[in-house]
Structure 1
Amino acid sequence: MAHTARSRRTTAALAALSLGILATLTACNGDAENDAAASGTHASPSATPADKNTATPSSADPGDSGSGSGSGSGSGSGKTSASPSTPAPSKPASDDGQDGGVGMCETADLSYKVTVASRPVNHALLTASNKGSDPCLLSANELVITIPGLDGAAEHMGPDGKDWILEPGQNAYAGILFSRADTAGGKSADKMAVALTASEDPTTVPINGGPVTVNDGQVTSFFGTAEDALTY
């Protein structure tokens, strides 16, 4: 009987020891699982903000940059092409004599002034001005000058000019030789007749600084400056 009681106590002690060890292991395992769960809970929130902060701005930046660059470039290009250009005060005529419906200058369209030049000697300067409100196409080489006392029209001297559009208020110039120093005699004149073409009626223009002695008659083409007109 004593042996049986001792065996039961030993068995009970071993059972109690086993239960304690099992409880300890269970507690440790539970703490480990809790730690792992806590660690997993911690990692997930920290990863989510990092993803948002990194991915969202980097995907938006190229789109914003491309949009700004495109609109800026398009706006600048549009303003440049729309800017109106400033026309030149006079434009050369086209080769076929037509230029956008601009009509030929007629003798009556212009006003004229003839002035004796100080240099070269025995020359006068013809100034023709567009007195109208519209431009006209000036024929540079068909000018007809008739000096009283001389037969026929003055001959051409100097190079041929180029037809151009004479704007309202713009001037054209021609040089007139009325006397040669090596030619004796001549007739006095205080006016001359001017026509832009041989087919038109001339207009009479007084000679400022006259009268002059006339024994010859030559005229240049129309030029854009008085200096060019008085070179010949």
Structure 2
Amino acid sequence: MRTHRIRIAAAAAVTAAALSLTACQGAGGGTRDEGRASSTTTTAPTTPAPTGTPAPTATPPSTPTAPGASGNESTSPQGSADAPTVPATSAAPGKNGKNGGKSTAGTVVDRPCDASAVRVVYSPVSRPLNHALLTVTNTGRTACNAYYAPVLRLDDGQAAVAVDQDSKPQAVVTLFPGESAYAAMILSAADGSGQHGRTSKKLTVWFAPRDNVGSAGGPAVLKLPAGTYTDSTTRVTYWQTSMEHALGF
């Protein structure tokens, strides 16, 4: 009985020893595995960029807005200050007879013509008899008015040549640059009824101002053709828009 107990105790001891040895071996193996893992360098996997994703692009700096681009200021180039001043009204054909001139509708001209900005020409004509034509052309850069009739003096006479009042036009003749006006001189009576006949050599021409008092500027002095005969009936017409109108008196 005692022997049997001894054997059972020995068997139990052997079994416990075996179990203890197995546990130690398992623990030792795990330690060796952990040592090997701790000595190994681990590289983190690199995640590739998704295919087709564009690389980021640097944003360009914004361009400052130029003054005036907002509409508060004009960006148009300024006109030449040299360019010249153009009337704001539109040009229209003028009533200047056959002289080819043009006037400007609605333009108010208040400047009398004077000898400093015009050219005056005396021209004898064959018809009507004893007539001559005075032509005044605006050679200036601004328009002027040929008021009333030219104020004429023959040679050194004290009195002005008489004006034919029947020749008064309906309106003042305005001359824009390059345009002309006309006045006829009736030199002597066609029937010989005139008195104090003489040969005149010089003609002085003044221009009337708006109020017809005195003269506008200085005179133009013309040398008359040889043999120009005048008498007491010599007279001059108002300024006209065409030579036909002037010579019709």
Place the TM-score, normalised by the shorter chain, in its bin.
0.5 to 0.7
Instruction: Give how far 1:189 is off.
Output: 1.5
Instruction: Give how far 1:185 is off.
Output: 5.1
Q: Which has the larger share of helix? A: 1
Q: Give the one of 164, 170, 173 matched to 2:173.
A: 164
**SS where residue 135 of structure 2 aligns?**
strand
Distance 2:227 2:140 in 1: 30
CA deviation string 1:103-141 (max 9, x = no partner): 2222322110011111111111000000112222221x1
Q: Give the one of 211, 215, 218 matched to 2:227.
A: 211
Asked whether 1:192 is paired with 2:183, we answer no
4+ long deviations beyond 6 Å: none
Asked whether 1:221 is paired with 2:221, we answer no
* One-letter amino acid matched to 1:168: P
Q: Give the one of 107, 113, 123 matched to 1:115.
A: 123
Q: Give the one of 170, 179, 182 matched to 2:193.
A: 182
Distance 2:127 2:222 in 1: 21
Q: Is the 8 A contact 2:173 2:181 kept in 1?
A: no
Instruction: Give how far 1:101 is off.
Output: 5.7
Report how many residues are paired.
Answer: 143
Q: Is the 8 A contact 1:135 1:167 kept in 2?
A: yes
The verdict on how the C-alpha distance between 1:120 and 1:93 changes in structure 2, with shifts beyond 3 A counting, is: farther
Q: Give the one of 113, 117, 133 matched to 1:105.
A: 113
TM-score, normalised by the number of residues in structure 1: 0.54
Unaligned runs of 5+ in 2: 1-88, 95-101, 209-213
TM-score, normalised by the number of residues in structure 2: 0.51
CA deviation string 1:61-81 (max 9, x = no partner): xxxxxxxxxxxxxxxxxxxxx
Residues 38-77 of structure 1 mapped to structure 2, 5 A cutoff:
none
Distance 1:231 1:104 in 2: 25
Distance 1:154 1:92 in 2: 33
Distance 1:93 1:231 in 2: 28
Distance 1:230 1:164 in 2: 16
* One-letter amino acid matched to 2:155: P
The verdict on how the C-alpha distance between 1:108 and 1:86 changes in structure 2, with shifts beyond 3 A counting, is: closer
The verdict on how the C-alpha distance between 1:119 and 1:149 changes in structure 2, with shifts beyond 3 A counting, is: farther
Identity %: 24
Residues 140-151 of structure 1 mapped to structure 2, 5 A cutoff:
141-148=148-155, 150-151=157-158
Instruction: Give how far 1:165 is off.
Output: 2.2
Superposed CA RMSD in Å reads: 2.6
The verdict on how the C-alpha distance between 1:213 and 1:163 changes in structure 2, with shifts beyond 3 A counting, is: same
Distance 1:126 1:93 in 2: 27
